C-alpha cells in the first residue's frame, strides 16, 4: 500500500484512543502534557511528586502516567519519549542509592569536575533496564489490555495500531479503575486477622476469669485487704470482705490447704535465692580478698529460710 494512503488509517486509529475527550481539546491537551514531560529534566516534575515522596506515592504516580502514555494506548506525538522519561524517572527515584545521588547532583547541568569536557553527569542516571521492562515488571508481565509494543532505541514514535472490539473497555476507564481500586486491602486484612483474634480471645478470657479468693500479700486492687491465718500452720493470707460468707467448713479447710502449699512453695523459692546470693558474695570476697564483701556476705540474713524451717518444725510437731 502507498505510504500516503496509510496516513488516514493511522490517524483514524489514533483518534479512536482519544474518544473520551472532544477532538479539539484532546490533541492540544495531550500534546502539551507530552511536551512538558519530554522537556523536563527533573525526575520529580516528570512524575509529578514532591521531593519527599515515599515509595507508595512514586508507584501511584508511575502507574497513572505509564498507563496514560504507553505507546500501545497513546498515539500523541512524543508519547514514546514521554513514556521512556517516565520509566527512567521511576527507575532512578525508586532506587535509594540513585535517588540519593540524583538529589545531590540531579538538578545541575554543569559538567562534573575531572571528567571529559563534553561529559555530562546526567547520563549517570540512565538505567540499564528499558521502560518497557519496568512497565512489564510493574504490571505483571503484560499490558492490561493484552496489546504488545516493541521498543527500539529510536526516538521516533512508532505507528499505533489499536485492536478494539465492542466488548473492550476504553483505556481511560481502566486507568480510573486502577486509581480508585483499593490497594492490597484484602491482603492487609488477612495479615492483621491473627492479631484481631488474639485481642478478642484475650478480652474474652479476662471477662470470663474470676479473681482468686485470697492473696499471700496485701492487694487493694483485688480487694484483698483483710488479714487471716490458716488454722493448721498459721500461714498469713489476705481476703476480701465477703470471704467469710463464701467459704466455711470443708470448703475453708480445703482452701487453706492450698494456701499453705502456695506459701511453702513461695518461701522455698526465696530461700534458694537468698542462699545463692550469700554464696556468691562469699566467693567474691575470697577471690578478691575483700573484707567488705566478706562482712556483707556474713550479714545477710536468710529470712525465708528461717520461715521455711519454722513451717517444717510445725509440720513435724503435729
Which residues make Cβ contacts (< 8 Å) with residue 89, sequence separation at least 6? 43, 44, 46, 47
Which DSSP category does 221 fall into?
A: G
In a domain, 183, yes or no: no
Residues 224 and 126 in one domain: no
Q: What count of other Cβ atoms lies within 10 Å of the Cβ of residue 226? A: 15
Mean pLDDT by 10 residues, the chain (318 residues): 44 42 51 69 88 91 87 80 86 88 69 42 52 71 43 49 46 54 71 90 77 92 93 94 92 94 96 94 90 92 93 86
Q: What is the pLDDT of residue 41?
A: 74
Report d(CA 139, CA 149) in Å as an integer.
14
Q: pTM for this structure?
A: 0.38
Question: What confidence score (pLDDT) does residue 128 get?
Answer: 57
- Does 265 map to a domain? yes
End-to-end CA separation in angstroms for the chain: 119
User: Among 145, 168, 191, which residue terminates a domain?
Assistant: 168
pLDDT of residue 7: 43
Distance CA 237, CA 264 (A): 13
Do 142 and 11 belong to one domain?
yes
Q: Please report which residue ranges of the chain form alpha helices under DSSP H.
A: 3-17, 23-39, 43-47, 55-69, 79-93, 96-105, 131-138, 171-180, 185-208, 243-246, 250-288, 291-299, 303-317
| 249 domain-assigned | yes
Q: Of 107, 135, 168, which closes a domain?
A: 168
Examine the domain organization and report whether 103 and 28 are in the same domain.
yes
- Does the residue 98 lie in any domain? yes
Residues 6+ apart with CB under 8 A from 296: 281, 285
Q: Which residue has the cell 524517572?
A: 89
* pLDDT for 29: 55
CB atoms within 10 A of CB 26: 17
| Model pLDDT for residues 132-176, shown as the tens digit of each residue | 777 777 666 544 443 434 444 444 555 554 444 444 444 455 555
Does residue 202 fall inside a structural domain?
Answer: no
Last residue of a domain, one of 168, 193, 210: 168
pLDDT in tens, 51-62: 999 999 999 998
- Count of alpha carbons within 13 angstroms of residue 315, beta-carbon side: 11
**pLDDT computed for residue 181 by the predictor:** 57
Q: Would you say residue 77 lies in a domain?
A: yes
Domain carrying residue 120: 3-168
- Count of domains in the chain? 2
- Do 137 and 20 fall within a single domain? yes
Amino acid at each position: 500500500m502507498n505510504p500516503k494512503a496509510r496516513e488516514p488509517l493511522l490517524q483514524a486509529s489514533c483518534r479512536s484512543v482519544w474518544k473520551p475527550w472532544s477532538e479539539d481539546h484532546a490533541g492540544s491537551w495531550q500534546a502539551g502534557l507530552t511536551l512538558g514531560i519530554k522537556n523536563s529534566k527533573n525526575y520529580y516534575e516528570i512524575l509529578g511528586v514532591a521531593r519527599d515522596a515515599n515509595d507508595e506515592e512514586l508507584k501511584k504516580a508511575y502507574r497513572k502516567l505509564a498507563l496514560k502514555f504507553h505507546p500501545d494506548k497513546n498515539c500523541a506525538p512524543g508519547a514514546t519519549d514521554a513514556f521512556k522519561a517516565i520509566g527512567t524517572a521511576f527507575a532512578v527515584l525508586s532506587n535509594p542509592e540513585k535517588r540519593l545521588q540524583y538529589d545531590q547532583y540531579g538538578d545541575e547541568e554543569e559538567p562534573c569536575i575531572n571528567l571529559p569536557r563534553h561529559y555530562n553527569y546526567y547520563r549517570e542516571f540512565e538505567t540499564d533496564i528499558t521502560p518497557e521492562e519496568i512497565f512489564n515488571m510493574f504490571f505483571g508481565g503484560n499490558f492490561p489490555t493484552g496489546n504488545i509494543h516493541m521498543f527500539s532505541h529510536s526516538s521516533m514514535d512508532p505507528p499505533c495500531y489499536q485492536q478494539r472490539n465492542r466488548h473492550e473497555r476504553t483505556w481511560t476507564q481502566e486507568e480510573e479503575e486502577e486509581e480508585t481500586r483499593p490497594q492490597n486491602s484484602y491482603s492487609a486484612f488477612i495479615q492483621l486477622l491473627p492479631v484481631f483474634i488474639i485481642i478478642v480471645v484475650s478480652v474474652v478470657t479476662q471477662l470470663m476469669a474470676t479473681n482468686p479468693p485470697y492473696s499471700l500479700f496485701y492487694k487493694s486492687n483485688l480487694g484483698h485487704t483483710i488479714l487471716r491465718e490458716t488454722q493448721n500452720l498459721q500461714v498469713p493470707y489476705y481476703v476480701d470482705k465477703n470471704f467469710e460468707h463464701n467459704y466455711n467448713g470443708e470448703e475453708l479447710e480445703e482452701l487453706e490447704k492450698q494456701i499453705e502449699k502456695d506459701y511453702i512453695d513461695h518461701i522455698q523459692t526465696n530461700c534458694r535465692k537468698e542462699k545463692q546470693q550469700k554464696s556468691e558474695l562469699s566467693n567474691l570476697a575470697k577471690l578478691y580478698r575483700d573484707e567488705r564483701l566478706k562482712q556483707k556476705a556474713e550479714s545477710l540474713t536468710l529470712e525465708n529460710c528461717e520461715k521455711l524451717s519454722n513451717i517444717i518444725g510445725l509440720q513435724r510437731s503435729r
